A = this chain, B = another copy of it.
């Protein structure tokens, strides 16, 4: 067992609060949250928090992890040029071997940012899953059915395979997006959702042009079209959700569909600002993702959290909009539930030990007026002291414990891009 003591704990249920409990971890799960007993048991390791804060890890609820290979090579371009000249042709060169290395690079970045799980949508999923399992990182693969797939039935095989493969990996159904997927394939995905009673996800309402195109093609917005096909009959949600009509918002609220926001990507690609306050007020459940490094370019959850709040303020010209507490809940709790990781959403007995220690003894976390707000409005990767997934310490004091030497990995990644570009 591992013991975290002498610090603070951020807990969410039944309400968000910071307590001074200690936390014990055994067999990958949290087995005690509370005061120290008079005669504590023997521990494998005791971690003195020295006043620092233990939190449930951040859940990256929408990403394309291996897109680290495109970081800083496709910036400051018009959207079309970015996608057709930079992203698509180079993705074609991303072999499973290369994707494996770039996935590991992304996982290192997640760990350094306090992220303990990802909801990933990309390809070469065998190599992707292997990289995650070898690192000890938790991931939920989201199917990304689209018109370029040569083997449509592979979705069902992957669904069965990855949900049985490893405790760290699971798989959910989805299409890439309405504009990349024909109706027949959408209907096939819906048939799987009905067969397995599964939620479905898609890139949704990311750009104004996407919504306009869908209206032209179908006379319906993307959420309405998908819903009319039965896509959301067992729940699910959308990634981005920037351009949502009032009817779309009402649909998401009624069916409790997850709206996953990607603030940095939406700024960098000039897509817009998602109406999070409007969604929240309507009762839509919310989560946060980094999107891929091709459009962000970092996988930095502190930057996403900060923007998930302050962009609401500037969009409405109201400094009281947004709000740190709601953002922290989206980051730690909402993301977990959106991905189906309902036992990774809090610090409580029985929950999985996906935990992060936040260093409060850095100047940006002082003074201690309000720890939650410090975290959202002033936090940065320098505050991530330790990241644990499934009870294993994968990152501590700047060092990675994932079975891969960072510098050797960087060399491999740079060798790949020299061949690819």
- Is A314 part of the binding interface, using a Cβ–Cβ cutoff of 8 Å? yes
Q: Which residues of B contact A316 (CB under 8 A)?
A: 270
The digit string for A203-225, where 1 denotes a CB below 8 A from any CB of B, is: 00000100000000000000000
Query: Scoring A residues 108 to 121 as 1 if CB is less than 8 Å from chain B, else 0, what string do you get?
Result: 11001000000000
Rounded to whole Å, the gap between the CB of A86 and the closest CB of chain B is 11
- A382 partner, pick from B264, B270, B319, B382, beta carbons under 8 A: B382
Whether B72 pairs with A363 at a CB distance below 8 angstroms is: no
Report yes or no: B378 in contact with A297, Cβ–Cβ below 8 A: yes
Task: Verify A406–B367 contact, CB threshold 8 A.
Answer: no
Asked if A300 and B414 sit within 8 Å, CB to CB, the answer is no
A75 touches B373 (CB 8 A): yes
A270 pairs with B76, CB closer than 8 A: no
B-contact 0/1 string along A335-376, CB 8 Å cutoff: 000000000000000000000000001111011111001100
A392 CB to nearest B CB, Å: 19
Name A267's contact: one of B268, B313, B413, B416 (CB within 8 Å). B313
Task: Judge whether B324 and A76 touch: CB under 8 Å.
Answer: yes
Expressed in whole angstroms, the minimum distance between the Cβ of A274 and any Cβ of chain B is: 11
Q: Are B298 and A414 in contact (CB under 8 A)?
A: no
Q: Can you show 9 pairs from A to B with CB atoms below 8 A apart?
A: A71-B374, A72-B373, A76-B323, A109-B364, A112-B362, A267-B307, A300-B378, A361-B410, A369-B421
Nearest 8 A/B pairs, CB to CB: A72-B373, A298-B378, A108-B363, A73-B369, A109-B363, A267-B310, A297-B377, A270-B313
